[in-house]
Structure 1
Amino acid sequence: MNRLLLLLSLCVLGACALPGAAPSVTQHDLGGPFPADLKSAVPLRAIHVQAQPTVAGVAMLYREAAQPTRRASYAYNRWAATPASMVEAALVRKFGLEGTARCRLQLSLAEFIIDIDAAGKARALLSADASLYRDNTLLQAQRSFDISVPLAETSPGNGALALRSAVERLAGDSAAWMAGDAGRGCRPG
């Protein structure tokens, strides 16, 4: 009887020591489909977006002014896909592709992060280097884009919305860049 009581007591104590259920992970994306509303002055066969290693994963990253060399990730919040694949899908949707076109827009994503200053104000940062290729030849058309969008608050959800706005601006800035001298080697005629 004493052994049974001791065994039951140990089971009850053991159950109290078990960890609770882990919080669920929230997945974020850039929100609904991007409208196909930009007609590029340059017909594009393809758009490819690569990411630097610091932004190649699905962690939602932020940096605080108090520790400017440290990238941290929001706990229990992740991107639904890599930033590069989400940006690529958004740009393809915005511009559309033409199967007979000869040019390709190549982007290298260097930043996709929430930056929090010493006063606690946050902004979404998107940095990318763009190159324009005709067939497999790099044209003399390269440009860096550094886009900053302020956040109302530093929550992961607001960060995702601000980064969506940054991608919208990247699309508009890319279209304007390709409409200029950069896209001359890709225009028909």
Structure 2
Amino acid sequence: MRILLSLLAALAMAGCVPNNVRQNEAAVFDFGTAAAGWAAPALQRIDVAAPSWLGTPAMQYRLAYDDGARRRTYTDSRWAAPPAELLEQALRRRAVAAGGEAALPCRLRLELDELVQTFDTPQASRLGLAARARLMCHGEQTLAARSFAVEHPAGSDARGGVAAAAAAVQELGKQLAAWVAAEKSAVAARRD
């Protein structure tokens, strides 16, 4: 009888614990707040799209040493939003708000092809980011197109992958800015 009363008391007290408290909540990450300057003319708009397998907040990785074709996801870590959305926000902060010059009458269309942490060994990984860019001016006319690929060492866990992703986004932003700056004269020539 004493055991039964103790069990009922424990169950009653368990009902007092709020249901919204999670024991093992996943860590949520983005690309951070550091923003390198955009060393190019401002753009009117930036759009980033991604394939379906990058359309979720899941943080993906591969084990190159064990079935490298298989994508896996971290269970205790995830992105705050799908990677394309995070990348678009990071690039917009830099390029749309660039001061000084008037904005080019152009839009940057970026297709995110890859964002994955690849483990070559259990202790060492690299973060790969690949994208295709189109600079579109005067409506939907493609003025220039180029592919970009960035890779950074990523350590041995999800946090290392997040730091490497932030560095890769910074590097991609610099490469995109240099490319847009180089295409500026072509945009001016087409206006005339």
TM over 0.5: yes
Deviation at 1:120, TM superposition (A): 3.8
Could you say which residue in structure 2 is the equivalent of 1:102?
105
Paired letter, 1:31: G
**In the alignment, structure 1 residue 138 sits paired with structure 2 residue 141:** yes
- Contact kept? 2:87, 2:169, Cα under 8 Å: yes
* TM-score, L = length of structure 1: 0.81
Give the unaligned 5+ runs of structure 2. 12-21
1:38-187 to structure 2, matched below 5 A, reads 38-41=38-41, 43-65=42-64, 66-97=66-97, 101-118=104-121, 120-151=123-154, 153-180=155-182, 182-187=183-188
**In the alignment, structure 1 residue 31 sits paired with structure 2 residue 32:** yes
- Contact kept? 2:122, 2:156, Cα under 8 Å: no
Please provide the CA RMSD for this pair. Answer: 2.6
Residue-by-residue CA offset, 1:35-66 (whole Å, 9 max, x unaligned): 4x12314x410011111111111011111111
Paired letter, 1:170: L
Give the unaligned 5+ runs of structure 1. 15-20
- Contact kept? 2:39, 2:181, Cα under 8 Å: no
1:10-21 to structure 2, matched below 5 A, reads none
- Contact kept? 2:39, 2:178, Cα under 8 Å: no
CA distance in 2, matches of 1:52, 1:184: 32
Cα distance, 1:11–1:70 mapped onto 2, change above 3 Å: farther
CA distance in 1, matches of 2:145, 2:110: 10
Deviation at 1:100, TM superposition (A): 5.8
CA distance in 1, matches of 2:53, 2:166: 19
